[in-house]
Amino acid sequence: MGVRHQHWIGGRPAEPADGGYLPTVDPSTRLPGDEIAAGSAADADRAVTAAAAAQPGWAERSGAERAEVLHRVAGAIESGAEELMEVERACTGKTEGQLRMEVGMSADYFRYYAGILRAHHGRTIDLGAGNHAYTRLEPYGVVAAITPWNLPLNQACRALAPALAAGNAVVAKPSEFTSVSTLCLARLAGEAGLPDGLLNVVTGTGPDAGTPLAAHPGVRRVTFTGSVATGRLLAGIAADRLVPMTLELGGKSPLVVFADADTDRAIAAAVSAVAFNAGQVCSATTRLLVEAPAHDAVVAGVVEAVERLRPGADFGPMITEAQFRKVLGHFDDAKRQGAVPVTGGSAYDDGPGASGRFIRPTVYAGVAPDLRIAREEVFGPVLVTMPFADEAEAVALANDTDYGLVAAVWSGDAARGLRVAERIDAGQVAVNGGALGVETPFGGFKASGYGREKGIEALHEYAQTKTISLSLRP
């Protein structure tokens, strides 16, 4: 029998007010896992109350003092890496390499914001010799962070580190499918010296725990990563309350490859979009747009590479049953519309992938841009390809989407690569494999959301500007 996990409120485990618990499942085996507390409005209220009590003392500390605590939290994540990896693996089925990378990046978030926190301050404004005017960057108070099931620990740390750095307290509501690593993080943070009540975790479903949390009058800012539909719901709640919000939603991101590009590296990037987290990443570049003379050769290279990927070793399963069924539904719909995959297009019915929610890496080549599988976010190991004739058509195809989260451009002509990148409607664009990390701001255009995470921009998201002016005249 698995472990039964409580909420984390005020620096200690807290039983659910209604006494209920929810099951979890290991998606790589479909075997039962741990149980988590089924949160309610009463639990959200307890957590917000604890956060509100702890926040003023935290905000009164200097940036240097807060930074020291955040450095210790980063160290605790690194020291607890094996535990964090195991609880994350149990509910996501991810590969060891991916888990180790995600835990390392989780620690990096805390180290980065601890480092730049000392440069987080207001400015003086020259209004003449008779006045002293300046600005302060002040915390909102209590922040609600509602995080998804695809990258649970990583997404939690991405929101929590800058929110705490800016002087806020946080109530996190992780997905009910993947809550345990966030609970473990909260315990480790407390052991590292984060004051009780600054990081609270309420588990449970979105309607029962997430919605009441976002609607709570004590919450002064909300951050959400997840689906467009849920983002719209929460944005409506925040708008009614006049509470600011950061939304990181879906994507159907383009990977543009010109014929003169380093196609071996471009192929590797396309394969990574399929393999990393089995495509369950909103920033996955799953629309492969290739200049017509190179299209067939690039597709052949991608197909050859994805057919070598091994379930459980090179990529993980669909994390939820609903997502598993959704991807299979996309395959059925594509078939009805006349699209036939070059490879894949089904779940595994034999071998090591058959026991879990594994989907065969799938490539649809030369698809019409109006097909559903070419337009909607599949959120699985599925790539669609389209040829283009010239630069203008490449940009038009890249922008022919409701989304605008990320993009990638591969070109032998760096000037053209930058020119195309500047014309694509997306919040983050990599040219020829340009590095992107904790330091680079991340967020969407169009239906991919608003606000920015990562970089110094995220620190500013969690602070509000106050102007103070003093007359020096006698």
Q: What angle do CA 339, 343, 346 make, to 5 degrees?
A: 80
| From 248, 291, 453, 461, active-site residue | 248
Catalytic residue at 248?
yes
Please give the radius of gyration of the chain, using alpha carbons only, rounded to the nearest integer: 23
442 token code pair: 């991340």
**Per the residue annotation, which of 173, 184, 252, 291 is the catalytic one?**
173
Range 5-38 burial, b when 16+ CB lie within 10 A, else e: bbbbbbbeebebbeeebbebbbbbeeeebbbbbb
Q: Which of 102, 282, 291, 454 is catalytic?
A: 282
Active site residue 184: no
282 is annotated as an active-site residue: yes
Spatial separation of the C-alpha atoms in residues 261 and 263, rounded to whole Å: 5
User: Which member of 35, 88, 291, 377 is catalytic?
Assistant: 377
Catalytic annotation, residues: 173, 248, 282, 377
